[in-house]
Structure 1
């Protein structure tokens, strides 16, 4: 029997197709769909699009914003006009293997983003975006001046993979009229096969549609869904970028330490010993460092972790947060995961 897994998420935000449609982990195929064959078909369609469309690269290089981004189909037999770049010449090809299937997806990095922080797959982001089908129909958007705050936990798998590759904006300026300008944001496009989009959502009309997203990553916020002191990304025990719980006694490793069918990221007592997780760890703030690089190169003990979020202080220095996972009985298992 195939293992049945469930994803448990909170903070489901109302942002069109993105937030309330969950992806499957690929273990069980949708009815009447061969995933391997679908992936081959999807990749052929995406590659054809990349080979037949170009973007206005010279304009974007001087002002990288999605409002300035224009994608144009090449006329048959015509060259790519000067000042433009074929998508296929610039995208980065990435893969994710789930079971026996390797999903290929593509990222166009138009601007890395000048902020010191990038999100984890479980963080909240403030983002402007536009979702497009390969026939160039727009199916979803949240553009300036109304970007959306989205919990990446509640997005399709492709977003969890791509958005963390970018940094947030370097800074923001209030214009005094209710709008905000974000400088040096992370700007890009993603080209996703159905297996990283809505293939596992048969009720979604986009189930068999490879998708394109343009986006600007404006801000990111480190999530601790259960407020136990450990950011959610560190509670992904299986390190697969998902929060899963096995519903059968199989011995398969999942993200639920105490077996109460609640993944650790929404369980404030991860080992079920009656002591809250926040009382079984030690949290400290680092000394100020002159640069982010100096902060990240700090020497830590083997049971310590420097969290992803870096704070820029008013004097231009940087601080971070360290979690020490105490092991009182020295049995090699951190207290917050050790019920004994």
Structure 2
């Protein structure tokens, strides 16, 4: 089942990378993303002060009778996030962190997750749009808007309680994400979301694939973050334009990474056979070509 999920995910990643490929005629971006981040945060603060979480309805509602605002609610968490040198404030509301019996911990920014969600746009300080999207599906935290990536890692999965019926989970992570436009679709927008829209998502995290390995090379994608900046997407050992986490031959020596596992334990990252580079694993060392 896990391998099947990975195959689906690899196909999705390939499509996303093709769709988001570089522009052969790049234009100068004169949009002030930093100023927009400030505008979005001001709008979110106003929204929080005028709305509250209605537990009975499991919904965010305008304050009508002295309810505790989201702004003053201890369950609302603020997170500082930097993307493309712009500082953002991301917010998420924690109904339940999640507590599976077999505790896999929290997913990483590169893991594949199984979640239920529905999204709305924050229109005014006391107004939300109808749902623009809702689904229950597998997806990669590396392949979605960055607000999702940086939020879902703070929730855990749940327990599979399926009994000869539809797949179902209980006690999973549950919350609400409040995402500034710069961590969503920014000035681009989509067919259904206007540029610079602030988004809100109700989410339930049901499960995830611990140590997701996107290219199936034996090295978890999160561990292909060689420079240690928390972002494996910018690590490309052989400088071929394909980051290591989706490169089946990380050092470009003609031998697949998964085959540079001389000790045969399924982990190429602990094979060191070059005395001149004792701290460089074989799969990242072009000077040594050792197959398992």
Flag whether TM exceeds 0.5 (same fold).
yes
What residue number does 2:39 align with?
41
2:142 aligned residue (114, 135, 153):
153
Contact residue 271 and residue 338 of structure 1 kept, 8 A: yes
Task: Measure how far apart 1:21 and its partner are.
Answer: 8.2
Give, in whole Å, the separation in 2 of the partners of 1:175 and 1:329: 52
Could you list the runs of 5+ residues in structure 2 that have no partner in the other structure?
1-8, 288-292
- Report whether the alignment pairs 1:54 with 2:1: no
Q: TM-score, normalised by structure 1?
A: 0.68
What residue number does 1:98 align with?
83
3-state SS of paired residue (2:132): strand
- Report whether the alignment pairs 1:210 with 2:198: yes
- Relative distance call for 1:23 and 1:108 in structure 2 (3 A) is farther
Task: Measure how far apart 1:239 and its partner are.
Answer: 4.3
Summarize deviations over 1:71-102 as a string: whole Å, max 9, x none.
11013xx411xxxx421223111111235421
Contact residue 160 and residue 241 of structure 1 kept, 8 A: no
- Report whether the alignment pairs 1:227 with 2:232: no
Contact residue 112 and residue 209 of structure 2 kept, 8 A: yes
Give, in whole Å, the separation in 2 of the partners of 1:188 and 1:235: 30
Contact residue 127 and residue 148 of structure 1 kept, 8 A: yes
- Relative distance call for 1:30 and 1:195 in structure 2 (3 A) is farther
3-state SS of paired residue (1:265): helix
| Aligned CA-pair RMSD | 3.0
- Relative distance call for 1:207 and 1:53 in structure 2 (3 A) is same
Task: Measure how far apart 1:227 and its partner are.
Answer: 1.1
Give, in whole Å, the separation in 2 of the partners of 1:243 and 1:232: 7
What residue number does 1:182 align with?
169
What residue number does 2:270 align with?
325
Contact residue 111 and residue 185 of structure 1 kept, 8 A: yes
- Report whether the alignment pairs 1:273 with 2:264: no
- Relative distance call for 1:227 and 1:161 in structure 2 (3 A) is same
Give, in whole Å, the separation in 2 of the partners of 1:148 and 1:20: 22
- Matched pairs, number: 259
Give, in whole Å, the separation in 2 of the partners of 1:44 and 1:218: 32
Contact residue 188 and residue 196 of structure 2 kept, 8 A: no
Summarize deviations over 1:197-256 as a string: whole Å, max 9, x none.
011535553331011111000010142121110111212334455454xxxxxxxxx411
1:337 aligned residue (279, 284, 288):
284
Could you say which structure has the higher helix fraction?
2
What residue number does 1:86 align with?
69
Identify which range, 119-128 or 274-283, moves more after superposition: 274-283
3-state SS of paired residue (1:42): helix
- Relative distance call for 1:235 and 1:227 in structure 2 (3 A) is same
Task: Measure how far apart 1:175 and its partner are.
Answer: 4.8
What residue number does 1:307 align with?
none
What residue number does 1:164 align with?
153
Q: TM-score, normalised by structure 2?
A: 0.78
Contact residue 256 and residue 264 of structure 1 kept, 8 A: yes
Q: What stretches of structure 1 move > 6 A for 4+ residues in a row?
A: 18-24
3-state SS of paired residue (1:174): coil
Higher relative contact order (CA 8 A, sep 6+): 1
Contact residue 52 and residue 74 of structure 1 kept, 8 A: yes
Give, in whole Å, the separation in 2 of the partners of 1:149 and 1:30: 36
2:95 aligned residue (103, 110, 113):
110
1:132 aligned residue (117, 120, 142):
120
